[in-house]
Amino acid sequence: MKTLLWPAGLALGLACLAAAPARAANDEQIKNAILKARAYLQASFRSGSGTGGGQHGGAFGEGPAALAGIAMLESGVSPDDPTILSIARVVREAAVSQASTYQLALDIILLDKLGEPADEPLIQSMGVRLLLGQNRNGAWTYTCPGPDDAEANRLKTVVLTAGKAKPKKDLPEPPTDIQNRPKLSPEAEDLLRRGRSNPSSNPNTAAGIEDHSNTQFAVLGLWSARRHGVPAENALALTEQHFRTCMQPEGGWGYTKDSGANTPMTCAALLALATGLGSKSEERVLRGGGGGRNPGGSDKPGDAPKPAVPQAVNPLKDPQIATGINYIGNMIAKDIAGAGQPVPQHFSPAMTAEFLGQIHFDYYTMWSIERVGMILVCRKWASMTGMPGDRTISLETRKKKGNGMEQNTAPMWIPVSRLCSCAGPIW
């Protein structure tokens, strides 16, 4: 059984690019940085509100608290920690009526990581809202359809019972065939059916109302929600197709399908492509197609042997993924070349903003790079396509023994990256 709380480098390791672009941080420096950041988050979100005494919520609601909780759990804080319990209480209460894409995704990821069975109705309901918020292009914007009064009242009852059981630290055993896959509850199934029969309930479903930042978070949220019965396979496939049609000439992706490429949105696209490939790989395994598991097979002497599990896809052999990695590598090379230099005095405000927009000033970009680096285990960014002028920048991403990355396939319980033969944890 796999542990739920995977260690993660967070984005803090990459922050060292800003301070010393020519020299990578060592393990001890990264560990100390994580411990300091963890202590900061525990102190900031320890108040009764779970949102740092109101300093971190505001217009973003419980989102910052959920993100802090995820970071703390990833860095080794126990699910029983008082700060985690405080955050979980706030997240559960907000999740009842939440309709914002970022917050829905983060709430799902946090509750999934806590592993409390009583949170299943909340996760399923939020997962259905994300499904209904996807537009016809396969992307998302800031809002999704919210629950009706009946659904909100049902979930308020759920919140009263959640938080009382001891969180589970182990993932459930994965299913061996399609019939064992978890399913939505009748209430969540009805919510999804009614939402799909009334698309006018979400004005954002029209193609063209979207951005790739919200889409990235929606994909992460749906991947976690799949472990709880949310049928996200078609949604992930549609998102993969969306990104395959809007790659920009420079080799990356932009904030919208028609905007110029940039580093964080290229990471968002690579994440969506990886989850799409991983979902299809899992589907093939669970359905037994192409040599997948046969639930009726046997390994006993004299019985028919079980068919071999199909080989996992290698995302690095996908031409668009390889080109996207190359784009990011070249952006990192460009950033390192100019890092640490002062802003020239003659720069206009617009030029200064562009200068300060370099990767090492942008935590969102570094976080995006770190996530994709862990998913694809990119020890090198760039030089993937052999393009003229490519530069290779090495980023040390770890491959822990026993985390399943050496396996050829894995079901949806396991992070998306483990469905790819070269990958590391997504969360």
- Report pLDDT digits (tens) over 298-347: 445 455 555 555 556 678 889 999 999 888 888 877 776 665 567 677 76
Taking the C-alpha atoms of residue 182 and residue 117, their distance in angstroms, rounded to an integer, is 13
Residue 381 located in a structural domain: yes
Cα dist from 120 to 74, 124, 184, whole Å: 21, 6, 9
Range of the domain at 372: 246-294+307-427
Please report whether residue 99 resides in a domain: no
Give the count of domains, the chain. Answer: 1
Q: Which two tokens stand for residue 416?
A: 């998306």
More confident residue, 286 or 137: 137
pTM, two decimal places: 0.76
The answer to the question of residue 263 being in a domain is: yes
The helix or strand, by DSSP H or E, that contains position 33, with its residue range, turns out to be helix 27-44
Between 373 and 268, whose confidence is greater? 268
Does residue 349 lie within any of the structural domains?
A: yes
Residue 137 has pLDDT above 60, yes or no: yes
For the chain, the average pLDDT equals 74
What was the pLDDT predicted at 355? 61
Assess contact for 108 and 224: CB atoms under 8 A. yes
Tell me, yes or no, whether 6 lies in a domain.
Answer: no
pLDDT cut 90: percent of the chain above it? 40
Number of neighbours of residue 152 by Cβ within 10 angstroms: 13
Q: What is the distance between the alpha carbons of residues 413 and 20, in angstroms, rounded to a whole number?
A: 38
For residue 399, is pLDDT > 50?
no
**Alpha carbon 219 to its chain's center:** 6
Bridge partners, residue 211, by sequence = 140
Binned at pLDDT 50, 70 and 90, residue 192 comes out as: very high
The answer to whether position 388 is within a domain reads yes
In angstroms, how far is CA 352 from the centroid of its own chain?
32
Alpha-helical runs (H) found in 317-409: 319-338, 349-356, 363-376
- Rounded CA separation 76/70 (Å): 10
Whether residue 53 is predicted with pLDDT greater than 80 in this model: the reply is no
Tell me, yes or no, whether 104 lies in a domain.
Answer: no
pLDDT score of 329: 82
In-domain check, residue 87: no
Q: What is the per-residue pLDDT across 197-255, written as a single tens digit (0 to 9) for each? A: 887 766 666 656 789 999 999 999 999 999 899 999 999 999 999 999 999 999 999 99
Q: Are 408 and 386 in contact (CB under 8 A)?
A: no
